[in-house]
Structure 1
Amino acid sequence: MQLNLKARDWHNWLSVLLVVPMLLVGFTSIFLAHKKELGLNDIDLTPYVAWLPGYGESGRRAQAPEVRSTATLTDGRVLIGTQNGLFEVVGTSAHAIPELGGDQIRDIAELPWGIVVAAKAGIWLSQDGRWQRVVAGDAWNAHRHPDGSVSVTLKDRGIVSSNDGREWSPPASLRAVLAGLPSTDMPDERVTLGKLMIDMHTGKAFLGKNAEWVWIDLLGFVWVFLGFTGLWLWWRTQTKKRDSALKRAQQAASVARITQ
């Protein structure tokens, strides 16, 4: 009997401890389902998360650069795009460009009017040695055209082009071609076992890409509900135990006074 009581106590206390990750999973799932609408990727918390072990000085710094793209400019400079930022080679050493620090660099293109970089955080432009992000979004590649313009592919907007790096718009010719492409010419999506597992996890396999947020929100709310109700039930149990112990102590004290 004593063993069962100890096992039950261990179960109760472990359940309380596991409520914290359960609530974190629930809340973060809901936020991730709506990160685009909430603009979560544009909120920089770097100065405030250093206390977390995974974001300490050693945790945030990559052990080795993952090179994603390179470009040799007409003036002889070499730019190297990595998983964690853009670097300029000077002599035998590489110096990080602060403005693009931590951003994932996908492609680099040099134009007569500047340097264009396609990165995870958007399209970056360098003119007169100054870097700035000119278009927000998830950019994948930068292609220079013979007429001096450049095209960049954005994940949610498709292809955009510019003649000066300041004004970006979808190229009319390509837009018309893509709009007239028959759906029968589009290849079927390849589904591997790994992709199936991910799509079942996110709900895409059941509800489709546009409605997978319903699945994620539902599961997130379930986890949050179970976490809070579990805490509430545990608190009620502890309160009842405390009240019962206090009542027994009061009764024992009353009996002791009567017998004296």
Structure 2
Amino acid sequence: MSIALLIPMFIIGATAIFIAHDKSLGTQDLKLAPAMAGNAMNMKMPEVIVRDVATVGDATFIASQAGLFRMVGGFPVREPGIPKGEFRSVKADAAGTLYAAGKYGLWQRAGSGAWTQLREGDFHGLGLMPNGIVAYLKDQGTLLSSDGGKSWIEAPGFAKLGVLAAREPEAYTLQKLVMDLHTGKFFFGKSAEWIWIDILGATLLMLCLTGGWMWWRSQKQKAQPV
């Protein structure tokens, strides 16, 4: 094995393990200097994906992967008093109360303009119904609050969507099989993909370490006098 191949193999093996355990290691919350981005730093203006739009009076609010913004004089201004992370949904009820949901929880803005966090969690969807707030919370499903976000229950009827979807399974293609084999989902399921990734990462690291040791031994032997 060429010594030049050890560096990329080591990087792939180590980073695969970090990716598989990103939540437990907290890698997403660890901020690094921009200089460490190397050639991955895109010098072009980033594309901002608009997720949802809501209007309260003459104010327009925009939920995007870059955060929650308000249009002021035709120009977007970041909404203060709320996290800068991704917001996927923003809704306004008849009373003018605004709700915003995203990666850093579900938030409410009353008439005073102050934001209050109603619930922590990673929210992927939000809707206002006559009987309350309906929100989809990652790993917990669709929830309903009939008291303005103080208490939550499983939204009645929404769980049946999974039953309906199970009756209409999507076609299993060759591309899907290849992806499932590649990620380990085929062997361990979605929740345990990290086992497969750990195995591959550890294998690459072992090959790098043993390959580097063999190369070092061969160089040491060549340096010895005959």
In which range does the TM-score fall when normalised by the shorter chain? 0.7 to 0.9
Alignment match, 1:109: 91
Counterpart pick for 1:22 among 9, 18, 26: 9
Alignment match, 1:86: 68
Q: Percent identity, aligned pairs only? A: 32
Which structure shows the higher strand fraction?
2
Alignment match, 1:222: 203
Does 2:224 align with 1:237? no
Does 2:121 align with 1:137? yes
Query: How many residue pairs get matched?
Result: 221
Is this contact kept in 1: 2:134–2:155, CA < 8 A?
Answer: no
Which structure shows the higher helix fraction?
1
How far residue 40 of structure 1 moved from its aligned partner, in angstroms, is 4.1
Does 2:219 align with 1:209? no
How far residue 77 of structure 1 moved from its aligned partner, in angstroms, is 0.8
**Aligned-residue CA RMSD in angstroms?**
3.2
Structure 2 matches for 1:1-260, cutoff 5 A? 12-15=2-5, 19-41=6-28, 43-45=29-31, 48-51=32-35, 52-53=37-38, 56=41, 58=43, 62=46, 64-73=47-56, 75-97=57-79, 99-101=82-84, 103-111=85-93, 112=95, 114-127=97-110, 128-131=112-115, 134-147=118-131, 149-162=132-145, 163-165=147-149, 167-171=150-154, 173-174=156-157, 178=159, 186-242=167-223, 244=224, 247=225
Tell me the amino acid that sits aligned with residue 153 of structure 1: Y
Tell me the amino acid that sits aligned with residue 221 of structure 1: A
Looking at CA atoms only, which structure, 1 or 2, has the larger radius of gyration? 1
Unaligned stretches of 5+ in structure 1?
Answer: 1-10, 249-260
Could you say if the C-alpha distance between residues 94 and 184 of structure 1 is closer, same or farther in structure 2, counting changes exceeding 3 Å? closer
Deviations 1:87-110 (A, max 9, x none): 210121111236443x33321112
Partner secondary structure for residue 89 of structure 1: strand
Is this contact kept in 1: 2:21–2:194, CA < 8 A?
Answer: yes
Q: What is the distance in 2 between the residues matched to 1:134 and 1:195?
A: 38
Is this contact kept in 1: 2:9–2:205, CA < 8 A?
Answer: yes
Could you say if the C-alpha distance between residues 115 and 228 of structure 1 is closer, same or farther in structure 2, counting changes exceeding 3 Å? farther
Unaligned stretches of 5+ in structure 2?
Answer: none
How far residue 131 of structure 1 moved from its aligned partner, in angstroms, is 4.0
Q: What is the distance in 1 between the residues matched to 2:126 and 2:91?
A: 6
How far residue 172 of structure 1 moved from its aligned partner, in angstroms, is 6.1
Tell me the amino acid that sits aligned with residue 180 of structure 2: D
Partner secondary structure for residue 148 of structure 2: coil
